[in-house]
Structure 1
Amino acid sequence: MTTTEPRTQKMIGASVLRREDRRLLTGAATYLDDLELPGCYEAAFVRSPHAAARIVSIDTSAAAAMPGVLGVWTGADLPEIAKGIPPKVVHPQLRDVPRVPLPADFVKFVGEPVAVVVATSRYVAEDALDLVEVEYDVLPAVSSTGAALAASAPLVHEGAENNIAIHVVQTAGDPAAAMDAAPHRLRERFTVARGGGHSMETRGVAARFDPTTEQLVVWDTTQSPHYVRNTLAYLYDMPEDGIRVVAPPDVGGGFGPKAQFYGEEAVIPWVARLLRNPVKWVEDRRENFVATMMERTQVHDVEIGFDDDGHILAIRNVFEHDQGAYCAGLQVPMITLSTLPGQYRIPNIHTELIACYTNMVPTSSVRGAGRPQAVVAMERMVDRAAEHLGMDPVEFRRRNLVQADEFPYRVGLTFRDGSPLTYDSGNFPLLLEKTLSAFRYEEQRSLQAAARAEGRLVGIGIAAYVEGCGLGPYEGSRYRLLNDGTVLVTLAAAPQGQGYETVYAQIAADALGMDMDLIRVTTGDTSRIPFGQGTFASRNTATAGPATLQAGQEMRGKLLQVAEAMLKTSAASLTIRGNRVEVTDDPTRSVSLRDIAGAANVGKHGITLAPGILPGLETTVYFAPERAAYASGTHAVAVEIDPETGAIDVLRYVIGHDCGNVMNPMLVDGQVLGGFAHGVGNAMYEEPFYDETGQPQSTSYLDYSLPSSMEVPPVELVHIHTPSPLNPLGAKGAGEGGTIPVPAAIANAVEDALRPFGARITSLPITPPKIVDALSTDDLDGTGPWHG
């Protein structure tokens, strides 16, 4: 209910309950598969069973003749859309290979779609898939970056010189000379396994073509509806206004893979247009395992040079990145390339990317997007260097942190957004100390010593990170005063569970000086706001947030200007109280927001507006940040290893987090804790397996270990707040920080627990069999896979 007093309580920074939760918890939410599309047909895709093959022929006649089947199309049947899907992030050195919606000649990974069946139901469509006969000429496959770079490697793409998609080197200082002169040098190779987003709701697309208006409406579980619209306009050679893309308000998670564009997103709307009938496709879970983009697969060769006092003099990292069969975008490896230095002052840096094409599903961003791998490389070597000097790893970190008075801090590299890598704000030493205090570090070391005296394997790990977030180019917010006297705020970005309807209403309430219950937030519809980028890279609070603040301030000015004319007073003398604007010193003189809408938005037909009345109370603002902002965090963990089973028991975990000014503390904590659960999976559980021919061996949750609430340990959060100077809210990102350092922190802790045995951790995730192998007699001579 609206208040009877002027609103003075600030909404920004308040832990307001999420508006979305009632419908989500009561089963009233509307996901894509819940959409009411009368007479909708359903689709299913024929997918390649081979990682590399030439398509000899496809016979669809039997499937097309099956009762209930409306049509079957192959790539050869749809030449109009046989265009290469542009990579989302490119680079001048990229050797791009076209990725078409339905390939007609070759398949490059298991699960690649080669034909689509549309039928009266999904059941009929699935049955018809078995009647599509595809003849393949199976070719040699490349299933790893090592295989891709081998001298005798088969080529993933015919006619290429090799399997390298891009080779990029960035340097700061003189790393070669500094490394040569360093008193101490250590080297190691680390491998990080791939993993997926595994959202509760899989990918889905539905489309309807209206021949009367010539408009194509597409519902898509995408994180980036405007990106989908623009890509469809390009592929279809249609004007953008002829395509409306809607991301449903409720979605079962995105986590990065849904920010990309897939062939299915091009095929379904096109066949809906051909059939003049709605068509829907929802990915099943096995398709999600084999055909939805993944991330993480990298191999890092790292060398660190440091002096007797524990100061890092140089770092060198050469890493192989599995790009998959095509380049959907270079965002992941380019982020890894620049994330390496983390929170440390390192004068000499060599960071080198070798991205390889393989016969695997293409690489996409997954929560963390290239940062967890870089943090593993850096933080593992920091621990190794401290061990080499006999120094406490915390003390080693203290000696190398960028100090609070050094911001803005120029690292000397270039970030993925093309701007110089410059940390805008932070306080890394304070963040470390607050984390250690909450963790009770000295007490944990004493407990560890006591446990070791009892023969127990207890270890402590620390890991720090810096996350580039709040990326451009821009994001927008649009306000409109509705005729009922409420305000509609429209955002281009589609929420993926972050609580946009709540947090942007909080920002709007402060900008307008109005009660939240008079503000409604809608998102993810290209017909409501013309331009936008999407939800990814922890960017929206720092981009859409300022746009919402500034557009709200403009709207408040317009509201008061109209009320000024209607009440014949000055705007400075007016106050918004509940749903009315009143004269502050004489509340009996007031006008309702509904009346303001009637005067400005509706007017009287044929009658001239009174002086001072603004026609159409609407504002739109696009905010373009100067460059990325940088959130940061430090994690501390204590673990115990069971030497008999290799099980890891997390005894204590503390997260120190800095995302600048916080809009809603409760929602930020939820984001961090959700990210932490994802990081636990990357650290200890999630590892898909493939054979040498690129065949996936784990295509269900019977074979793929995804942590549940039972496996995620309790965690304590501590926050500091260093506002970003790059946006008026002082906000940074919070969506991925909980994930990024978890694998490195747990790896450091496990290696610390195994230190009496000299075992080395170089492969993630850390599973019980790997730990048992590390503790076996055969592996204690320093020659096993866990030894550097």
Structure 2
Amino acid sequence: MPKDHGIGASSKRREDLRFITGAGKYSDDINLHRQLYVHFLRSDVAHGRISSLDTDEAAKMPGVVRIFTGSDFDGVGSIPCGWQITSRDGNVMQEPPHPVLAQGKVRHVGDAIAAVVATSRDAARDAAEAIVADIEELPGVIDMKAALAGDAPKVHDDLTSNLCYDWGFVEDNRDAVDQAIKEAAHVTTLELVNNRLIANPMEPRVAVGDYDPSTDESTLYTTSQNPHVIRLLMGAFVLGIPEHKLRVVAPDVGGGFGSKIFHYAEEAFCTFAARQLKRPVKWTSTRSEAFMTDAHGRDHVTKIELALDKDNNFTALRTETLANMGAYLSTFAPSVPTWLHGTLMAGNYKTPLIYVNVKAVFTNTVPVDAYRGAGRPEATYQLERVIDKAAIELGVDPVELRRQNFVTEFPYATPVAVEYDTGDYNATLDKLAEMADFAGFDARRKESEAKGMLRGFGMNCYIEACGIAPSNLVGQLGARAGLYESATVRVNATGSISVYTGSHSHGQGHETTFPQVLSEMIGIPEDQIDIVHGDTSKTPMGMGTYGSRSLAVGGSAMYRAAEKVINKAKKIAAHLLEASDADIELKDGSFTVAGTDKSVAWGDVTLAAYVPHNYPLEQMEPGLEETAFYDPANFTYPAGAYACEVELDPDTGRVTIERFAAADDFGNVVNPMIVEGQVHGGLAQGIGQALLENCAYDENGQLLSASYMDYAMPRAYDFPMFQVDHSCQTPCTHNPLGVKGCGEAGAIGSPPAVVNAVINAMRSAGHKIDHIDMPVSPQRVWAAMNGADSPMGAAQPSANNSDTMGDRSLGGPA
């Protein structure tokens, strides 16, 4: 029988009540007394030298309080990068400054040149339009390969080139990998593009800066996934505000998908301007601004080679990737194509030799950083596409080729420096075969063909690394922060509990799942437990929420703090029951002396902690509150197998997802309903990348996909009802909850499944096609099938990938 509370129960999300009734409180809902508004004047060229800025007329316009330009930030720090990568030659990456407002040059369309602060949004916008900006347009570099040419214009004049770093991993493997590929019985080579994406969370970014001159304290209200990190980066490295004088609040946040992890210039500006003007300053992004200022995702061009022996065992893997950094280094950008990508290139397979080379490139485009999955989707896409291509070349079953090469013994140390603690890849594949009805596909294909349609089947397996850790390891890898998490568990006198967590919820359901864990541990109702997050003045130092770390790291910190609370409460209960605390058991909200009927209720013990009339004072102080910091010993390794069936219209190239099944191993599952919802959301984003979404620039650096007219977001009718299963559970061995993380899985596993299915459908009609780049739009599919002499037909890798913007034409829904 399904559980109705605690771990394993599908408890309804308590936060949904305020969201669906419009009672949520978002950053844009915050309006302060005497508040001013800011509008940024942004560059309309990708690369240019600022010759002059004439703000005189604009400053005289009604409502204008002050106009800021780059010169106002002389002496102010640069927006910092949180991760430093070392190139394979031993040199650290090139790290250019990122000013709050452009100084001297603009480096991408949307780069902020000036900021008008006024008494209303309209006044600020009108005045910004009156600023006369004389910008000498310079040649820009958009394509990564062109950016690395010796004569390419430099994005940053003070750097030696547009190469940020040249990373090799594992460098000691390089010669052995080269030799294994030379000696292989078969080598499959594939060149592919992981298309650039725009996160598009439901809530655009907002920043509200406030300043109290009487205490010299600043407050920033912002749409952030990790307010403590924003406080650290902005306070210490940009504005020089001591942490005890800087409060960062991230209230309800309407989605992030990675794009709200980072410290943005607008946050620093509003905090700085509020201190200068001694009045609150607010900025709310428009959707158009979001397209050209929110960090973009993906944007890799890769050549991958897979070597196999005569028995089709994987023997070596080699990849060469160009990764776009954009114009500046965003907070975690350098780590995404390296440590979050290279370390996952083993996938689910026991390939003995792997070498990964990544060249990160500066271009005159919006900065690129982590987007849902961050590095793991890129690794999975490369690996699972080259395996499918190898199966085509060898004439073998792609399912069985994968199964033959699975890792089957754990723990397993990969050749790319990580160790999988648990897993059962055959179990998830077996479950997938049952869910997706592999055996019935031929009959379904014949039904489609009878309608004049082509039907394709694609599958893939994935593994990801979540809960990035431990801190001492990531420090050696270049992280400039620890990646622990913290929690304070405060038990009130009447037995209710407040949990203060450094994690941040922006759709994950912390307010529901965290109480389920404590309810299981203590035995009190979940509604007696409150979760407080998102305010640096209330919560202990934490690293926020991203990388599927909430339960594995944040939940484990809470668990450890609760253990301390319970241990102290047992001592109090033992005193009340005149027994040894070693004999006290806690179950269903009561402390019992083992083997007896002597017990005392949870509430009686907690009251005794705060009203210590009968209390072991000689042993402990009153109260019942504990804090714990949890630094994981390893990543967690969720894994799974996905299957997709598509129908393809040969007359138009339109692709329709007919069936999609996902079998995942997330370790222990706290709330199955929330997990299913997280997988559904990830699948929607991954399928969106595969079929529809593409951020495209022209050769001059103009963003062609700068609105929803040109950037095709997936809609409900683009998907079937997903089949989702997470019954194959191999618990994580190194966190107390045995959880692995689920938030990014769908976005990691779905793109290769879709592309594999589309290629399978085209090949079923006799087309000798073994690759097509994402998004597999109707134009690309039609051109490939009809042999059109266009970039779409051959699907040649392109750093910009601008031949399609995910158009819904040629048969797609309008």
> Matches of 2:600 and 2:793 in 1, distance apart?
84
1:743 is matched with: 751
Name the structure 1 match of 2:427.
430
| Partner of residue 439, structure 1 | 436
- The answer on 1:345 being equivalent to 2:342 is no
Say whether residues 1:775 and 2:785 are aligned partners.
yes
Counterpart of 1:595 (choices 607, 631, 635) is 607
Instruction: Indicate how the Cα distance of structure 1 residues 578 and 376 shifts in structure 2: closer, same or farther if over 3 A, else same.
Output: closer
Task: Give the equivalent residue in structure 2 for 1:230.
Answer: 232
Partner in structure 1 of residue 8 of structure 2: 13
Is the CA contact 1:655–1:717 (under 8 Å) kept in the aligned structure 2? yes
Q: Note if 1:408 corresponds to 2:415.
A: no
Partner of 1:88: 82
Instruction: Report matched runs for 1:293-372 at 5 Å.
Output: 293-328=295-330, 329-334=333-338, 335-372=340-377
Rounded to whole Å, the distance in 1 between the matches of 2:542 and 2:166 is: 31
1:52/1:587 CA distance change after superposition, 3 Å: same
**Alignment-derived partner of residue 785 in structure 1:** 794
Deviation by residue 1:203-224 (Cα, 9 ceiling, x = unmatched): 1111211222222111111111
Match of 1:397 in 2: 402
Q: 5+ residue gaps in structure 1?
A: 1-7, 414-419
CA displacement, residues 508-530 of structure 1 (integer Å, 9 cap, x when unaligned): 22233332222111112212233
1:22-41 equivalences under 5 Å are 22-41=17-36
Q: Is the 8 A contact 1:88 1:260 kept in 2?
A: no
C-alpha separation between the residues in 1 aligned to 2:734 and 2:607?
Answer: 38
Aligned ranges 1:693-712 → 2 under 5 Å: 693-712=700-719
Preserved CA contact (<8 Å) 2:659 2:721: yes
2: CA distance between counterparts of 1:589 and 1:64? 68
3-state SS in 2 of match to 1:130 = helix
| Bigger mean CA deviation after superposition, 755-764 or 101-110 | 755-764
Find 1:644's aligned residue among 651, 663, 683. Answer: 651
Deviation at 1:470, TM superposition (A): 1.4
| Partner residue in 2 for 1:416 | none
Query: Does the 8 Å CA contact 2:67/2:117 hold for their aligned counterparts?
Result: yes
Task: Check the 8 A contact 1:485/1:597 in 2, yes or no.
Answer: no
Please list, as runs of the form range in 1=range in 2, the aligned pairs for 1:578-727 lying within 5 A after superposition: 585=597, 592=604, 595-596=607-608, 598-599=610-611, 610-611=617-618, 614-719=621-726, 720-727=728-735
- Using the aligned pairs only, state the percent identity: 36
Matched, 1:381 2:386: yes
One-letter code aligned to 2:487: S
Deviation at 1:616, TM superposition (A): 3.5
User: In 2, Cα distance between the equivalents of 1:104 and 1:216?
Assistant: 25
Structure-to-structure mapping, 1:488-503, within 5 angstroms:
488-503=498-513
Equivalent residue number for residue 525 of structure 1: 535
The one-letter code matched in structure 1 to 2:745 is G
> How far is 1:331 from its partner?
2.1
Q: Secondary structure at the match of 2:130?
A: coil
User: Partners of 1:787 and 1:323 in 2: how far apart?
Assistant: 21
The match for 2:68 is: 73
Residue 779 of structure 1, CA deviation:
5.4
For residue 526 of structure 2, the aligned residue among 504, 516, 521 is 516
Task: Report the more deviating stretch, 83-92 or 295-304.
Answer: 83-92
Partner Cα separation in structure 1 for residue 741 and residue 420 of structure 2: 13
Distance 1:35 1:565, change over 3 A: farther
Q: Which residue of 208, 215, 220 corresponds with 1:218? A: 220
Shift of 1:650: 1.3
Helix, strand or coil for the counterpart of 2:393?
A: helix
The 1:190/1:762 distance shift into structure 2, 3 A limit, reads farther
Q: Structure 1 563/306 Cα, relative in aligned 2: closer, same or farther at 3 Å?
A: closer
Aligned counterparts of 2:600 and 2:715: Cα–Cα separation in 1:
58
- 1:64 pairs, out of 59, 64, 69, with 59
The one-letter amino acid paired with 2:649 is: D
Gap change, CA 1:590 and 1:272, over 3 Å in 2: closer
The equivalent of 1:165 in structure 2 is 164
- Structure 2 partner of 1:461: 458
Q: Do the aligned residues in 2 keep the contact of 1:563 with 1:591 (CA within 8 Å)?
A: no
Q: In 2, Cα distance between the equivalents of 1:355 and 1:443?
A: 45
State the alpha-carbon separation in 1 of the partners of residues 241 and 447 from structure 2: 70
The 2-side partners of 1:241 and 1:340 are apart by 42
Give yes or no for contact 1:760–1:786 (8 Å, CA) kept in 2. no
Task: Tell me the distance in 1 between the aligned counterparts of 2:592 and 2:347.
Answer: 53
1:399 is paired with a residue of what secondary structure? helix
Shift of 1:483: 4.9
Match of 2:48 in 1: 53
Point out the more displaced range, 426-435 or 304-313: 304-313
Give 1:71 deviation, angstroms: 1.4
Q: Deviations over 1:342-367 (max 9, x none)?
A: 11111122211011100011111010
Is the partner of 1:732 in helix, strand or coil?
A: coil
Partner of 2:246: 243
More deviation, 43-52/150-159:
150-159
Pick aligned residue for 2:187 from 170, 185, 188: 185
Instruction: Judge conservation of contact 2:690–2:754 (CA < 8 Å) in 1.
Output: yes
Aligned equivalents of 1:483 and 1:10: distance in 2? Answer: 23
Moved more, 64-73 or 680-689: 64-73
SS at structure 2 position matched to 1:739: helix
Aligned residue in 1 for 2:491:
481
| Counterpart residue type for residue 212 of structure 1 | S
Amino acid at match of 1:785: A
Contact 1:518 1:579 in 2 (8 A): no
Q: Cα distance, 1:425 vs. partner?
A: 1.1
> How much does 1:269 deviate?
0.7
The Cα shift of 1:338 comes to: 2.5
Change in CA separation of 1:654 and 1:94 when aligned onto 2, cut-off 3 Å: same
Residue 571 of structure 2: aligned partner: 561
Answer with 567-576 or 549-558: which moved more: 567-576
Deviation at 1:617, TM superposition (A): 2.2
Query: How has the CA–CA distance of structure 1 residues 310 and 243 changed in structure 2, closer, same or farther, with 3 Å as cutoff?
Result: same
Q: After superposition, what is the alpha-carbon deviation per residue over 1:275-323, rounded to whole angstroms, capped at 9, x for unaligned? A: 2122211111000001110011111112222233221222221111111
SS state at 2:98 partner: coil
Task: Tell me the distance in 1 between the aligned counterparts of 2:578 and 2:295.
Answer: 60
Q: Which amino acid aligns with 1:425?
A: T
- Asked whether 1:176 is paired with 2:185, we answer no
Q: Is the 8 A contact 2:487 2:540 kept in 1?
A: no
Q: In the aligned structure 2, how far is the partner of 1:312 from the partner of 1:701?
A: 43
Task: Determine the C-alpha separation between the residues in 2 that align with 1:154 and 1:290.
Answer: 22
Q: Please, what TM-score do these two structures have when normalized by structure 1? A: 0.92
Q: Distance in 2 between matches of 1:241 and 1:492?
A: 16
The equivalent residue for 2:141 is: 142
**Distance (whole Å) between structure 2 residues aligned to residue 692 and residue 242 of structure 1:** 46
The TM-score normalised by the length of structure 2 is 0.90
| CA deviation vs aligned residue, 1:516-565 (integer Å, no higher than 9, x gap) | 22211111221223311111111121111111111112112223434555
User: Are 1:306 and 1:313, in contact at CA under 8 Å, matched by a contact in 2?
Assistant: yes
1:567/1:589 contact within 8 Å kept: no
The residue identity in structure 2 corresponding to 1:131 is: A
| CA shift for structure 1 position 689 | 1.9
For residues 300 and 210 of structure 1, do their structure 2 counterparts lie closer, same or farther at Cα, with a shift above 3 Å needed?
same
Q: Which amino acid aligns with 1:459?
A: G
